[in-house]
Amino acid sequence: MKEFFQAVFQFLRENGVKTVASWSVSAGVQMQKQLLREGYRVSGIIDQVGGLSTSLKQYCIRQRIPFFSIRGIHDLDHAEDSVNFLYRGGHDISTPEDFDALFKKVAPFLTKKMKTWGTPESRPLKDIDFILDAGHTGSSLDANAFRNIKESDLTFELASLVNKECLSKKKILLTRSGQPSWEDPLETLKRRQAILTKADRVRALSLHFNASPRIERSKNLSSAFVPWEANSQDIDFARKLIRELTAINLPGKESYPEFTEQIINKLEPGIFSRKLALLKKRSAATVLLESAYYDDEQEYSRLSNRQWMVEEGLWQRPRLKQIATAICSALKN
Ligand SMILES: [Zn+2]
């Protein structure tokens, strides 16, 4: 698959093709997911009888990739809540009328203005104002893996919300291309590191959710980590984040246990410098934010709460919306 995508996109690039809508027919949603996992940000996705595409659709909504789905009315394996084009019959379209109707329906989707396709690596750095990194991937080490909610899912959703709420007008680079569970953790970490190093002059924020030692379970705090050789920009950025999170009941953590203090250095309440792969010294401000302690019972129940957003057509966590708003206030001020 990797080689197949490379060959196809190299051909498209060489021929100056700017918009690419990936239209899969009976190939299964896995093929589309694989494409996104490899880091190809396509202009649009059309999924035709690809199996249950709910997660693919939710991903596309969050990443603002136009999505169109096509199904046969009797293709029960693929029964779903909302489909953009339903035709009579089962798996295959077999009548000329249905083909006609399909092309009429899909034409406005294909002819509307779409973004240029690309990969995180292919994007020129002059086109980036801000780097937003959603911490972790599906199977990578997770502070709270014992819980049902994965840290990687929370960070991915939070990054999408921050992007939508206050960065949509900026040229933003999201370091993670796919839904957490589709990604290869090692490859993704390497890619994220490479982007941060290459875009040395662009402000960067990495999002995380922390776990606390058992003894502190009842406390719900936040921490901002800056590079070991932090400069005043890093600290200023961290300070704003902690101030806004404190306002929504996530005050800055005072200290860490002694064994941790050997690898981190406390600068002020809630702000620590730390030696981490993603916190190499950079020219622009860099902060790794642990936005909440989700092993805190109260916080966990807040984070567990999801509501169906009719307009957006997806599930959203109100608590993440609140955290996203706090982060946006910090970014504005
Ligand atoms: Zn983390």
Q: pLDDT at position 321, please? A: 95
Q: With 60 as the cut, is the pLDDT of residue 300 above it?
A: yes
| d(CA 142, ligand 1 centre) in Å | 6
Reported as a single tens digit per residue, the pLDDT across 64-104 is 789 999 988 887 665 556 789 989 888 889 899 999 999 99
Note if the pTM is more than 0.85: no
| d(CA 135, ligand 1 centre) in Å | 6
| d(CA 265, ligand 1 centre) in Å | 18
- In CATH, the architecture of 125-332 is 3-Layer(aba) Sandwich (3.40)
- Name the residue ranges covered by the structural domains of the chain: 15-111, 125-332
| d(CA 137, ligand 1 centre) in Å | 10
**Full DSSP string of 204-228:** EEEEEEE---GGGTT---BEEEEET
| d(CA 86, ligand 1 centre) in Å | 42
112 contact partners, CB below 8 Å, separation of at least 6: 66
| d(CA 44, ligand 1 centre) in Å | 31
| d(CA 2, ligand 1 centre) in Å | 28
| Chain mean pLDDT for the chain | 83
Reported as a single tens digit per residue, the pLDDT across 168-178 is 777 777 777 55
107 contact partners, CB below 8 Å, separation of at least 6: none
| d(CA 143, ligand 1 centre) in Å | 6
